[in-house]
Structure 1
Amino acid sequence: MATKQSDDSSRHVAQVVRRPPAEVYAYAVDPDHLPEWAAGLARAAVHREGDVLVVDSPMGTVTVRFVPRNDLGVLDHDVILPDGTVVTNPMRVLSHPDGAEVVFTVRRQGLTDDEFDRDAAQVATDLARLRDLLEAADGIPARP
């Protein structure tokens, strides 16, 4: 039986990308790129309504609002689910000795252990896809 845990737990999922942090941020912050790497959020082109994004996601149609573009690598965003639930997703692009590190915080928010693990695995897959796209664009050989 799946059990629900406390809502205050979280997991940081990170991926190193062998590209400069500013390039990783510039790619990731562009809503037009979301369907290319963020399958857990966007399955098709993103529609803009002012500063809000409307996205066809695996969870249904959701709206997404990112923090304003910045020089700090902050990609925090709120996802408003079809039922009105707001999920806040902290995300950062940080400097790393090998280029950049993208860190996404997955919050439990009432999920079962299996749901929480599935969400974290989807984020890890999405961040690996982001890495692969950016490294391939620079001619960096694919990782094993």
Structure 2
Amino acid sequence: MRSIHVSQVIAAAPQAVYDFVADPDNLPSWAAGLARSEATRDGDALVVASPMGEVRVTFVSHNDLGILDHRVQLPSGEVVDNPVRVIDHPEGAEIIFTIRQLGLSDEEFTRDAAAVSADLDTLKSILEGSS
């Protein structure tokens, strides 16, 4: 199983990036690979319509460390853990998303990485005010 880290530097304070990404109401505006519409809350989980079908997403609790890890339960019932960090960067903040190949073909893995990269590009555009 391979892992890769997809990152984006954003000219914004790390706390601003963290706060925006941690707000589930913002998911549809930047995370097209995960959410196509507003998230519905179901206890601690968010239920969202995704390109894969309806998924349940559970984020770690808010924290001061920039950790945005989340667990996605796919329509099949399979659960995927996604490590995400927002860290300080000389130009503002860097968001780092770890993608694991798990049961994906090389082509699917490459497609997932491209989707995450596109989502982070959208996030950068929104937070830098160029969307």
TM range (shorter): over 0.9
- Given candidates 93, 97, 103, the residue that maps to 1:104 is 97
Find the counterpart in structure 2 of residue 114 from structure 1: 107
TM-score, reference length from structure 2? 0.98
Find the counterpart in structure 2 of residue 5 from structure 1: none
The answer to whether residue 13 in structure 2 is matched with residue 14 in structure 1 is no
TM-score, reference length from structure 1? 0.89
- Given candidates 82, 94, 97, the residue that maps to 2:75 is 82
Structure 1: state its 5+ residue gaps: 1-7, 137-141
Q: Which runs of 4+ in 1 moved over 2 A?
A: none
CA distance in 2 between counterparts of 1:54 and 1:111 reads 23
Residues 46-75 of structure 1, C-alpha deviations (whole Å, 9 max, x = no match): 000111000000000000000000010000
Task: Tell me how many residue pairs correspond in the alignment.
Answer: 130
SS in 2 for 1:65: strand
The answer to whether residue 62 in structure 2 is matched with residue 69 in structure 1 is yes
Larger radius of gyration: 1
SS in 2 for 1:28: helix
Residues 7-46 of structure 1, C-alpha deviations (whole Å, 9 max, x = no match): x211100000000000000000000000000000000010
Letter in 1 for 2:34: L
Find the counterpart in structure 1 of residue 30 from structure 2: 37
Residues 73-116 of structure 1, C-alpha deviations (whole Å, 9 max, x = no match): 00000000011000000000000000000000010011111100
The answer to whether residue 117 in structure 2 is matched with residue 124 in structure 1 is yes
What is the RMSD computed on CA atoms of the aligned residues? 0.6
